[in-house]
Chain A
Amino acid sequence: MQAAQAGDMRAYERLLREITPRLRQMVRKRRQFFTAEEVEDLVQEILLSIHAVRATYDPKRPFMPWLSTIAHNRLIDSARRFYRGKSNEVQMDELPVTFAGDWTNIENEEYRDPEELSIAIKSLPEGQRKAIEMLKLREMSLKEAAAASGTTIGALKISIHRAVLNLRKALNKE
């Protein structure tokens, strides 16, 4: 550290590389609940702290107590921040949808009975059934479906809208 204070980059790099595994071990031991990423973050914080206050090291005094005081202090500091952060957090259940209303949950709705759905589609008027088959089951584009069925895009849009309304009515009834 004495050489590092004098600006010897190699000595400083050697020192930091030597102490890093020790710091990592110390952090892991004292903060067993930390993830590997959190451990590494804290090790880096300690290294930055050491760099910031390297002028306070007195070569007449032993190095290890100097180092462990900084590391220990930063560990306490991190624990304080951790618990302060936790105390400001509000635990909430993860909600699957934004609103509780049925009409907002159409996209996530699953047809529990595919057979029932198939019967409902078959019972639709022919134009609407064809629109559903082409646009929803075969996933054709409006342009492709219009070309295949010989109707206009506007007519297809009306047919699919009516088909969906009829299907919803039929499935909710039962």
Chain B
Amino acid sequence: MDTDKLIASLTENADPVQRLPSPWVRTASWFAIAVPYIAVIVMMMAPRDDLAVKFTDFRFLLEQIAALCTAIGAAVAAFQSIVPGYNRRFLLLPLVPLSVWLASVGEGCVEAWLRGGALQNFTSDFLCIPAIALVGMLPAVAMALMLRKGAPLWPHTSAALGGLAAAGLGNFGLRLFHGQDASLMVLVWQMGTVFMLTILCGWAGRLFLDWRPVVARVRRNLAAH
């Protein structure tokens, strides 16, 4: 098709569009969907008995806040990554809370190592993988649907950030009903699952974020008119 004709048909079919809200507003909307779901899951799984005591534990609080901030930072970065024109340095936003989270868990591991017997308490805890996936499932689906409304500029990065946001939130929810606080266990099973899910989502990015279907949809609309 001639470019002039293409412009003419694009403008003929240019219906008003609803502007995409800012990444922070979209993060708040995503949270409004994810938080009630996580609350329901935590209630269904029964919150841990020592939860009230845990809220006075500095390390637990720090790690939970860091997990929550990682989820928020990753969600903001994911929503920014699908808006053209933003500085790509914003994509590093979740690294700050993530490093606090890792440092706290790492410090706990070192402390346990110095005390001795850190490895003796290490057991397999495969429950973490499906549990984090279950808690993070709806947030992940909501995130994927919301990311599809933007421009698929960096599919793998956007999907990985979205996955980190969902898995971070999943881990936050998990620790409210799963009584496992040994740092090495948290590092290997919980954070390991978060990283694994992040990588998996990043790998699958191009399956739902790609220019081809986006452009094909426009072509179909043009052909239909």
Contact surface of A with B, Cβ cutoff 8 Å: 4-7, 9-10, 12-13, 16-17, 20, 40, 43-45, 47-49, 51-59, 61-62, 65-67, 69-70, 73-74, 77
**CB within 8 Å of A: which residues of B?**
1, 3, 6-8, 10-12, 14-20, 22, 82-85, 149-151, 153, 211, 214-215, 217-219
- Least distance between A118 CB and chain B CB atoms (Å): 56
Could you list 10 examples of A-B contacts with CB < 8 Å? A4-B14, A17-B7, A20-B7, A44-B1, A44-B3, A47-B7, A52-B217, A65-B84, A69-B153, A73-B151
In the complex, chain A residues whose CB is within 8 Å of the CB of B15: 7
Residues of chain A within 8 A (CB-CB) of B6 are: 44, 47-48
Enumerate chain B residues within 8 angstroms of A58, measured Cβ to Cβ.
19-20, 22, 83
- Asked if residues A53 and B214 are in contact (CB atoms below 8 Å), the reply is yes
- Once the chains are docked, how many angstroms separate the CA of A59 from the CA of B82? 16
Q: Which residues of B contact A16 (CB under 8 A)?
A: 7, 10-11
- Main secondary structure, interface of A, reads helix
Q: Are A47 and B150 CB-contacts (below 8 A) given A5-B17, A20-B3, A52-B215?
A: no
Q: Which residues of A contact B19 (CB under 8 A)?
A: 5, 55, 57-59
Of the residues B3, B20, B82, B214, contact of A52 by C-beta under 8 Å: B214
Q: Are B85 and A69 in contact (CB under 8 A)?
A: yes
Instruction: Please give, as numbers and ranges, the residues of chain A lying within 8 Å of B18 by CB-CB distance.
Output: 55
A73 contact set on B, CB distance < 8 A: 84, 151, 153, 211
Minimum CB–CB distance for B73 against chain A, Å: 20
A-chain residues with CB within 8 Å of residue B218 when the two chains form the complex: 48, 51-52
The reply to whether B20 and A61 contact each other, CB–CB distance below 8 Å, is no
Residue of A nearest to B13 (CB): A51
The residues of B that contact A53 with a CB separation of less than 8 Å are 84, 150-151, 214
